[in-house]
Structure 1
Amino acid sequence: MSIFKTRAIIIKTQDIKESDKLVWLFTEKLGKVSTIARGAKRSRNSLFSTTLQFCYGDYVLYKGKSLYVINESILIDSFQDLLDDLNDLTYASYFCELIDIAMSDGEKSEEMFKQLVTAFYLIRSHAVDIEILARSFELKILQATGYELNFDYCCICRKKMASFNYFSFQYSGGVCDKCKKINGLHIDYATGSALKYLSKISLENVYKVVLSDKVKKELYKVLNLVISQNYFRKPKSLDTLRYLKNFEKNKI
């Protein structure tokens, strides 16, 4: 029997049977894996408090016939406080949803694992603009899964660009002033600069970035379309948040 010990974050769960749970882990060593936690729905079970969504810890797994089985676990941080704030909950759910959509089962990325852990701590800190954090995280997951966007050179003529105000969805990058603009979106030059900067900095440095509402809206529009175009389904978490906020606004 193969036994693995790995650090992981729980990105989603599903109740099965009377007392068991399906638990999807994004792990440091094994990538994204589907597991079963036997008896984890029972409050007295040792896995009860370590198999909640967002939990971060060390997990010992063994390979069953079709799924990994969680044998034991040690909690590092439950991140359950993120459930107390709608924004925190939505963006943490969104990051987990992105990992689930973008990463195949068994696809390893220690870098993206570190990014997810960092993102959770930054959400909790309230020290960064959460929208800008999300855009930076999106750029990093696109890069990690083979969809890196090009902001340094015109994606059509390949000439170096100091700045750009058009994004091509067909060629996945910025287009210079001289090339033909097709299958893309006109954006502000500041949005082009923000895309370029956010693609290069670490999540820890996102707190330094201040953007106008117009630029943030354009960033969301561009990256939302890129994600929808490249992955098999579109994340729904942020759409739900926007619906709830619009509902509250209209109610007032």
Structure 2
Amino acid sequence: MQIQTQGLIIREQTVGESDRLVTVLTADEGVLRAFARRAKNIKDSKNSATQILCYSRLNLYKGRDKYIINEAIPIEVFFDLRKDISRLSLAQYFCEIIAEFSPEGVDSAEYLRLALNALHFLCKGSKPELLLKSIIEMRLLTYAGYMPDIVGCASCNAYESPHMHFMINEANILCDNCFKPGPERSAPMNPAVLKAMRHILYSDTEKMFAFQLTESSQTELAAASEAYLLSILDRKPKTLDFYHMIAN
């Protein structure tokens, strides 16, 4: 069966001397894995279009147990990412977690839109990296069914307090009055950080990137979002370690 689609290459692996096995995030089929024969050959038309971080128009053949890419034409290669090692490493981290949480075989337009927006903002350098990282982590988890409950304090329903405490394992928040220090993992959130987190989770797609934070609040938000993602993933991605090493 022939399939025509558009997708972002979020993982690539060399197979043999000249073939590639790629993981592609598509709007209509979700995440799929496909072979691109002779794609490592620089003269092959599929060479650039099947590299990681390339958004491409794909013609695939769906066999019984695998996809074969017959034709691939690049739409956007996000070339500017390769000019900055920090942005490139963050983009690779985005690809790894998107591959982890995106579904297979179902409509995934929201996931693809999120990924493409992330790469667009990284290329332009128009959003601080820490802020962009938090947006992608929390919105991705929301799409995947892990939206935390941060409408109000889980104990007294208070909407805000001088500080709220994001309870990592319980995926909720406690106000200052209800929070008791203990073995449970938590991350402090000042009012600006809590407002930003709510905006990321609850805003319309078109507005999710439309806010700003001070550098200190970005750091606080980034600590909370990363801790929450790692608690669900239950491992630390190698791309995240590399990003921290580069960024620091």
Superposition TM-score, scaled by structure 1 size: 0.87
1:47-73, Cα deviation, whole Å (9 max, x unpaired): 112111111121111123432111112
For residues 93-152 of structure 1, the C-alpha deviation after alignment (integer angstroms, 9 at most, x for no partner) is: 111111112224435421111111111111111122222111111111010101001221
C-alpha change, 1:206 and 1:29, in structure 2 (3 Å) is closer
Deviation at 1:232, TM superposition (A): 4.8
Partner Cα distance (1:203, 1:80) in 2: 25
Alpha-carbon distance change, 99 to 187 in structure 1, aligned in 2, over 3 angstroms: same
Report what 2:126 is aligned to.
Answer: 127
Q: 1:137 & 1:200 partners in 2: Cα distance?
A: 13
Q: Which amino acid aligns with 2:159?
A: M
Structure 1 residues 178, 83: closer, same or farther in 2, change over 3 A?
A: same
Show the counterpart of 1:53. Answer: 52
Q: TM-score, normalised by structure 2?
A: 0.88
CA apart distance, 1:208? 4.7
Counterpart of 1:250? Answer: none
In the alignment of these two chains, the number of paired residues is 244
The alpha-carbon distance between structure 1 residues 218 and 236, as it changes in their structure 2 partners (threshold 3 A), is farther
The equivalent of 1:249 in structure 2 is none
Post-superposition offset of 1:7: 1.0
Where do 5+ consecutive residues of structure 2 fail to align? none
Change (3 A) 1:236 1:219: farther
**Do residues 169 (structure 1) and 171 (structure 2) align?**
no
List runs of 5+ in structure 1 lacking aligned partners: 247-252
1:79 and 1:114 map into 2 onto residues whose CA distance is 15
Instruction: Give the alignment's Cα RMSD to 1 decimal.
Output: 2.2
What's the counterpart of residue 215 of structure 1?
Answer: 217
Task: Specify the alignment match of 2:73 in structure 1.
Answer: 74
Residue of structure 1 equivalent to 2:14: 15
Contact 1:24/1:35, CA 8 A, preserved across alignment: yes
Match of 2:24 in 1: 25
Q: Distance in 2 between matches of 1:89 and 1:226?
A: 23
The answer to whether 1:109 aligns with 2:108 is yes
1:3 matched to which residue of 2? 2
4+ aligned runs moved over 6 Å, structure 1: none
Specify the SS of the correspondent of 1:112. helix
